[in-house]
Chain A
Amino acid sequence: MNGTQIALLAVGIVFTVDAVLLLGLITLKAVHRQRMESHDQRRSAFLGVLSRRVSFPLHTDYIDPKVVNDGAFLDAVIDLRNTMAGPEIETLAGIIDRYGLVKQQAARLRSRFPLGRRLRAAVVLAEMGDESSAPVLIEFLDDREPEVRIQCARGLGRMHHTPAIDAIIERFGQESPWVRSRFADTLVGFGAGAVWSLLAYVRVNHDHDEGNEAVIEAIRILGIIGERDVGPALIDLLHRFRDPELKIAAIDALGYIGGPMAVTPLIGFLDADDWRIRNKAAHSLGEIGDPLANDALRRGLEDANWWVRRSSAAALAGLSEGLEVLHQALHSGDLFARDAAAEALADCGELGRAREREEQGQATDADRQLLGFMTEGALVP
């Protein structure tokens, strides 16, 4: 064959492939449409039947057992489950039980592949929220696919299956950051029930030389859950931490956990060597809002570090009698303290309110001082 013939052959092949692709596109489009419409129709029908059952349990629309293989039926069950919170869940649970949905999905989860099907089974189990699926979900917390593990944890969290808490925390340290953060969400969902296990985890694992991210995350979760009872134990651990990052995380968490027991130790940390610790301590004292901290925070306004000054001032702005402290600080001999106080007063809206009062002719002395201190249009670099 000469060159021209080869070229023409190539053209023929290429255009054939094009035709195949075009055909594929048209078919795919048509199939998609048809499948989606049919799926939606069936789902609507199932929603109708299930709604009637749930509203009037004596209603006896017949549901063919074969529907368990229909994705539309599963979707309907899950969607309905997600909208309900009351006794009607019992009816739905009864249906799930009678039609063996949990067993069926568990079987799919156990199959080797494909990933899509297994993941969908995990999601379905997670969202059906049926207690009977708990053992399966715990088993698959060790699945090789991270997204499956995430869904299993999620499901256990949604049904508040407290025995799973320890299982999840055990695996916390070995997981990648993404999975760990999703586990963290689940643990937050468990709420107060998870705090003692989390604390135990921190207690056991904090003394490692490196790789403390998991422990830091656990401490953060304690802060988000905000269970006050755990405060004293955390404070105790705080003094034992070697890694400054852990200290910072714990101080941060204490800001949200709060409690009168936390204030004094936090005030102590305002004298730490590490500016980040002082900064966090100031921030957390602001979160807790106990005026006991006013004096210490006042001293914080004169800290050598800009961040610490700023946090101290911001904390004072939120405390009762803190605003007075800030106004007084405007007269401080320390330039930085004056500046920090002024910024905080502006940030918290005090400056704006002072301006308003001045416009209405109701400015107080403090207002006038504040306004006099601010330079219009000048911005601090």
Chain B
Amino acid sequence: MILDVLRWVGYGIITYFILMQLYLIFLGLMSAVAMRRTHHLNRFGRVGDMLSSQTSPPVSIVIPAYNEAMGIIESVRSMSIVGYPRFEIVVTNDGSTDETLQRLIDGFKLERVRIPYRPDIPTAPVRAIYRGRGSVDITVIDKENGGRADALNAGINAARYPYALCTDADVILDAKCLVSAMRRVVEDRQRTIAVGGNIRPLNGSKVELGHLIRSEVPKRLVPRMQVLEYVRTFLASRPAWSRMDALPLVSGAFGIWKRSAVIAVGGFTTGHMGEDMDLTMRLHRYHIDNKIPYRIVYEPSAVIWTEVPDTLRVLKRQRIRWHRGLMTAVRDFLPMTFNPKYGKVGMVTWAAMFLFEFLAPIIEFTGWFLIPLAFLLGALNVANLVAMLGLALGVGLMSSLLALLLDESFGYFNGPADTARLVVMAFIENLGLRQLTVAWRIRAIIGGKSTRTWGNMERKGVANLGLEG
């Protein structure tokens, strides 16, 4: 009797993973279809036209900054040359303890001004506001420390334009990213309230004088594994989610948000470790509850580059933080999960987030103990077990290869050696790296002292990537 139960549970666990990978493959195929059309438009549609267009809506680039004295000037300057007709830069100095503010004042000839700061979203107290007197349209908010979400909210409060690009100080923007993303807004001005962008790890790439010269897959394994993860989600998942009109997450590192919509739902949630996922879902909930037509989309050609954790230690902190953010979100949005009232968001993408992203580490962890136990007790047939594990591995490989194929068809980023490295990565990540991430997420669930969010790598706004398997 017990043996039967063990057998079903054992096979059940493996079947769960096979189903998850099949779901990913389904998403990948849908992403391929979704991207094919926009690919034509990007190659031949001359998105660059919008660069000189006077009908493009102006954008406020909102950047939270905490102790960024080292690179803040370079960052802001590199953002200031992004290709777009009309935009402003709003930097929030979130109570830095170093010379971030002074560097900004000196570097951009800032002048303190008395501008009404309307806290449409409540934030920590604002100490002063500065405006630049040079050629860059820059506003700096100096406020008391409140965390990344709070800093973003302050920036959004002070932003002059109807759309805000929320990003981070050390992100490198591709020249066309703003035009590509805003194109999605202009397509459907009335309804579009958020646009997500495509994030690629910068590690290992050649950056000179603040500009990306050539992208390369990193030599170290830890960042290289993340390149694969990012390709899987940003090329094989998000386009599909977007097509289904059910994008559950617009990344914090690059998100265009309609200011009025963000203010209507109260801005980013402070102290939340997945504030971007939280805001996206709240926007869904708000607009569905109030029957307001809306859409949240993802644009694969809006590319930006950012540093990802280089070592296991930093990666661990990041993953624990992400998972805690996910846990909070799962709890907050439980009423939406599998709720037909919330359409495809509730029934498909958020349900999948709960089922595959949240439950996966628990189920896998259980499997680590249960399956060997079941096997030892003779409940599992060797051949069956091997076959099913093989199946799980094979299907997992399939979804990775599909993602790499999509990258090749629509991304053109990597040389042949780079692609080879990523393929090898798809094999070897199952030899321990992936298991480590599972262990970390279990750690996150168990809880205990949560680390402070505002630290070196932790303040990265890229919340949960979505299904990683």
Interface residues of A (CB under 8 A from B): 3-4, 7-8, 10-11, 14-15, 17-18, 21-22, 24-26, 28-30, 32-33, 115-116, 119-120, 123, 147, 150-151, 154, 176-178, 181-182, 184-185, 188, 220, 224, 342-343, 346-347, 349, 351-352, 374, 377, 379-381
Contact = CB atoms under 8 A, between A and B. Distances in A.
A346 B384 contact: no
B188 A8 contact: no
The 4 closest A-B pairs by CB, nearest first: A7-B387, A14-B394, A346-B114, A21-B401
A4 B40 contact: no
A4 B186 contact: no
B405 A24 contact: yes
Contacts of B408: 25, 28-29, 32
The listed residue with most A CB atoms (<10 A of its CB), out of B49, B412, B423, is: B49
B404 interface: yes
Interface string B101-122: 0000000000111111111000
B187 interface: yes
B49 A182 contact: yes
Contact of A21 (B54, B126, B387, B405): B405
A158 to B, nearest CB: 10
A7 B117 CA distance: 65
A82 to B, nearest CB: 11
Interface string B326-346: 000000000000000000000
A30 B41 CA distance: 24
B126 A11 contact: no
Contacts of B128: 377
Given A11-B391, A178-B186, A30 B53 contact: no
What size tier do the contact residues of chain B reach?
35 or more
A352 B127 CA distance: 17
A115 B186 contact: no
A18 B394 contact: yes
Given A7-B387, A177-B188, 15 more contacts: A7-B383, A10-B391, A15-B394, A18-B398, A24-B405, A28-B405, A32-B412, A115-B40, A123-B44, A147-B45, A182-B49, A185-B52, A224-B54, A343-B115, A379-B117
13 contacts: A4-B383, A18-B401, A21-B398, A24-B405, A32-B412, A123-B44, A123-B46, A150-B45, A185-B49, A346-B115, A352-B112, A377-B127, A381-B118
A220 B53 CA distance: 13
A174 B41 CA distance: 22
Interface string B35-61: 001001101111001001111000000
B114 A342 contact: yes
Contacts of B404: 25
B419 interface: yes
Contacts of A21: 398, 401-402, 405
B390 interface: yes
Contacts of B133: 349
B381 interface: yes
A181 B55 contact: yes
A349 B40 CA distance: 48
B405 A188 contact: no
Given A18-B394, A25-B408, A351 B113 contact: yes
Interface string B178-198: 000000001111100000000
Given A18-B401, A25-B404, A352 B111 contact: yes
A347 B401 contact: no
A177 B128 CA distance: 40
B388 interface: yes
Nearest to B114: A346
Contacts of A24: 405
Interface in B405-427: 405, 408-409, 412, 416, 419, 423
Contacts of A119: 40-41, 44-45
B416 A33 contact: yes
Contact of B409 (A28, A147, A150, A343): A28
A177 B116 CA distance: 34
A200 to B, nearest CB: 21
The listed residue with most A CB atoms (<10 A of its CB), out of B43, B44, B127, B402, is: B44
B387 A10 contact: yes
A381 B119 CA distance: 7
A151 B423 contact: no
B55 A8 contact: no
A7 B189 CA distance: 51
A14 B54 contact: no
Contacts of A8: 383, 387
B81 to A, nearest CB: 21
B444 to A, nearest CB: 32
Nearest to A127: B46
B172 interface: no
A62 B37 CA distance: 38
Interface string B343-364: 0000000000000000000000
B438 interface: no
B44 A181 contact: no
Contacts of B114: 342-343, 346, 351, 374, 379-380
Contact of B395 (A14, A26, A381): A14
Contact of B401 (A7, A25, A115, A150): A25
